[in-house]
Amino acid sequence: MTRARILIIEDESRIAQLLDRGLKCEGFQTSIAPDGRAGLASARENPPDLVILDWMLPGIDGLEVCRNLKAVGDAAILMLTARNDIQYRVNGLEAGADDYLVKPFSIDELIARVRALLRRAAPISHPEVLRFSDIALDTGTRRAYRGAVAIDLTAKEYQLLELFMRNPRQVLTRDVIYDRVWGYNFGGASNIIEVYVRYLRKKTEVQGGSRLIHTVRGMGYVLRED
Ligand code: CA
């Protein structure tokens, strides 16, 4: 998985640093530009996947930067503004912003929006057949097989199995699984992952198939052969 590159265009360095730290913690690559001119130069030189763009900037304002960004690349744009006014929101979206966040916002909210935008922007991947051990998962038909036996999966079971199949032999923490499969965090109290892992094991272990989804105590789960 490549790490998404995020450009932060924000003149208030306190906010820029806060965003920078929060996004880095989540594994994103970040860079900061203190004004629109520097931001556009950075976007041309090193095209980002997503731009967090403050509305009120010295020199070229955020709306103008937004229009220019749309002209030079296809990065998703999340605008930040202190103005909680529907009219400005409409202007921002017309200028090409993909989403909008009103200051003050929580870093968790911002990260959730960033993830949603990046998911939306992700290209639709070509169908392929993922294989691990004797399991095959067809991402086109969304059907799974263990050996020659077809396994019927619900939508969530499919997503969970696909996540394991794309990351074999890697321990997937509960947080990562929540984020990738459910798109939000249940806050640690939910046992929904355990429930779905149990369903998947039941379905993949019929007819005496060996266990492939293992619990790593205190950490999460891993797809491996023993
Ligand atoms: Ca500002």
55 Cα to the center of ligand 1, angstroms: 6
CB atoms within 10 A of CB 32: 18
23 Cα to the center of ligand 1, angstroms: 19
Mean pLDDT of the chain: 88
Last residue of a domain, one of 87, 121, 155: 121
Residue 117 and residue 11 share a domain: yes
Helix H or strand E encompassing 117 = helix 107-121
146 Cα to the center of ligand 1, angstroms: 55
The CATH number assigned to the domain holding 151 equals 1.10.10.10
167 Cα to the center of ligand 1, angstroms: 40
Residue 140 and residue 83 share a domain: no
Q: Which residue has the higher pLDDT, 112 or 92?
A: 112
How far is CA 222 from its chain centroid? 20
Q: What is the pLDDT of residues 111-165, one digit of tens each?
A: 999 999 998 877 666 788 999 999 999 988 889 999 989 999 998 999 999 999 9
8 Å CB contact between 96 and 67: yes
34 Cα to the center of ligand 1, angstroms: 9
On the question of pLDDT at 83 being above 70, the answer is no
Residue 114 and residue 32 share a domain: yes
Q: What is the pLDDT of residues 205-222, one digit of tens each?
A: 987 889 999 999 989 999
Cα-Cα-Cα-Cα dihedral sign, residues 144, 186, 23, 59: positive
pTM higher than 0.75: no
8 Å CB contact between 76 and 120: yes
Domain containing residue 164: 129-223
Last residue of a domain, one of 97, 121, 145: 121
Least confident of 13-27, 83-97, 150-164, 207-221: 83-97
Residue 145 and residue 115 share a domain: no
How far apart, in whole angstroms, are the C-alpha atoms of residue 57 and residue 34?
8
Helix runs in 26-141, H state only: 36-45, 62-72, 86-94, 107-121
Q: Which two tokens stand for residue 102?
A: 């009103």
The per-residue pLDDT for 141 is 85
Last residue of a domain, one of 103, 121, 139: 121
Overall average pLDDT of the 58-74 stretch: 89
How far apart, in whole angstroms, are the C-alpha atoms of residue 95 and residue 105?
22
On the question of pLDDT at 1 being above 50, the answer is no
